[in-house]
Chain A
Amino acid sequence: MTRRLGPWPAYLARRLGAVVGTLVVTSFLVFASLHVAPGDPVAFLVQGRSPSPEAIAAVKEQYGLDQPFLTQYLHWLGGVLHGDLGRSFQFRENVGSLLTARLGTTLALVLMSAILITVVGLAAGIIGSLHAGRTADRFVLVLTTLLAAVPSFVAAILLISLFSVRLGWFPTFGAGTGLVDRAYHLALPSLALSLTFIALVGRVTRSAMLDELGREHVEVALSRGMPRRTVVRRHVLRNALGPIATISGLLVAGLLVSSAIVESAFGLNGLGSLLVQSVDKGDFPVVQAIVLIVVTAFVVVNLVVDLLQPLIDPRSLAGTAAR
Chain B
Amino acid sequence: MTALAVSVVGSGRLARLRSAGGGWLVVASALMLLAFVLAAVLAPVLAPYDPDLPVLGNVLAPIGAQHLLGTDQVGRDTFSRLLFGARTSLVGPLAVVVVATVLGVATGLLAGWRGGWVDAAISRVLDILFAFPGLLLAILAVSLFGKGVVAPVIAMAIAYTPFVARQVRGLVLTAKARPFVSAYAVQGFGAFSIATRRVLPNIAPTMLAQATVLFGYALLDLASLSFLGLGVQPPTADWGAMINQSRGAVLLGQPLSAVVPSVMVILTVVAFNVVGEELGDRIAKRDR
- Interface residue ranges, A against B (CB under 8 Å): 18, 21-22, 25-26, 30, 33, 36-38, 132-133, 137-138, 141-142, 145-146, 148-154, 157-158, 160-161, 165-166, 172, 196, 200, 203-204, 206-207, 247, 250-258, 260-261, 264-265, 275-276, 278-280, 282, 284, 287, 291, 294-295, 298-299
Q: Is the CB of A141 within 8 A of B240?
A: no
* Neighbour of B143 across the interface among A145, A203, A254, A287, CB < 8 A: A287
Find out whether the CB atom of A275 lies under 8 angstroms from the CB atom of B224: no
Identify 24 residue pairs between A and B in the complex whose beta-carbon atoms are under 8 Å apart, listed by A's number.
A25-B128, A26-B132, A36-B144, A133-B16, A138-B17, A149-B266, A154-B262, A154-B266, A157-B262, A161-B250, A161-B258, A165-B252, A196-B3, A203-B6, A204-B6, A204-B9, A247-B6, A251-B5, A253-B132, A254-B2, A255-B2, A257-B1, A280-B229, A298-B131
Question: What residues of chain B lie closer than 8 Å to A150, measured between beta carbons?
Answer: 266
Given pairs A25-B128, A151-B269, 10 additional interface contacts (CB within 8 A): A26-B128, A33-B144, A133-B16, A141-B17, A145-B14, A146-B270, A149-B273, A151-B220, A196-B3, A294-B133
Point out the residues of chain A lying under 8 angstroms from B243, CB to CB: 153-154, 157
Q: Is the CB of A154 within 8 A of B265?
A: yes
In the assembly, what is the distance between CA of A261 and CA of B244, in Å?
11
Q: How many residues of B contact A (CB 8 A)?
A: 54
| B259: chain A residues within 8 A (beta carbon) | 158, 161
Q: A149-B266, A165-B250 are in contact. Are A253 and B128 (CB under 8 A)?
A: no
Most A CB within 10 A of own CB, among B143, B253, B265? B143
| B6 and A33 contacting across the interface, CB-CB below 8 Å | no
- B142 contacts partner chain A, Cβ-Cβ < 8 Å: yes
- Asked whether A149 and B132 contact (CB < 8 A) given A250-B5, A276-B228, A278-B143, the answer is no
Q: Is the interface of A mostly helix, strand, loop or mixed?
A: helix
Whether A151 contacts B136 by the Cβ 8 Å rule is: no
Closest to A197 in B: B3
- Known contacts: A166-B253, A260-B228. The answer to whether A253 contacts B6 by CB under 8 A is no
Which of B14, B16, B140, B143 lies in contact with A137, CB distance below 8 A? B16
Q: How far is the CA of A157 from the CA of B246 in the complex (A)?
A: 9
Residues of B within 8 A of A26 (CB): 128, 131-132
User: A153, A291, A295: which contacts B227 (Cβ < 8 A)?
Assistant: A153
Chain A residues with Cβ below 8 Å from B274 are 145
Q: What residues of chain A lie closer than 8 Å to B140, measured between beta carbons?
A: 30, 33, 287, 291
> Are B250 and A295 touching (Cβ within 8 A)?
no
**Nearest B residue (CB) for A144:** B13
Interface of B is mostly: helix
Assess whether B251 is interfacial by the CB under 8 Å rule: yes
| Residues of B120-136 contacting chain A, CB below 8 A | 124, 127-128, 130-133, 135-136
Shortest Cβ gap from A154 to chain B (Å):
4
Bound form: Cα–Cα A101–B274 in Å? 43
Bound CA span A299–B2, Å: 13
CB of B273 within 8 A of CB of A145, answer: yes
A213 to chain B, nearest CB (A): 14
A206 CA / B140 CA spacing, docked (Å): 35
Given contacts A250-B5, A295-B132, contact A149 B269 (CB under 8 A): yes
| A276/B139 contact (C-beta < 8 A), A145-B17, A251-B6 known | yes
**Distance A160 CA – B131 CA, assembled complex (angstroms):** 31
Given A203-B13, A247-B5, A261-B224, do A18 and B266 touch, yes or no (CB 8 Å)? no
Write out, one digit per residue, whether chain B residues 219-238 have a CB within 8 A of any chain A CB (1) or not (0).
01001100111100000000
Name the B residues within 8 Å of A282 (CB-CB): 143
Task: Please pick, from B2, B227, B246, B266, the residue contacting A261 in the complex, using a CB distance under 8 A.
Answer: B227
- Docked complex Cα distance between A260 and B3 (Å): 17
List the 5 shortest-distance A-B pairs measured between CB atoms, nearest first: A254-B2, A149-B269, A161-B255, A153-B227, A37-B144
For the complex formed, measure the closest distance between the CB of B160 and the CB atoms of chain A, giving whole angstroms.
Answer: 13
Q: Say how far A45's CB is from chain B's closest CB, in angstroms.
A: 11
B10 CB within 8 Å of chain A: yes
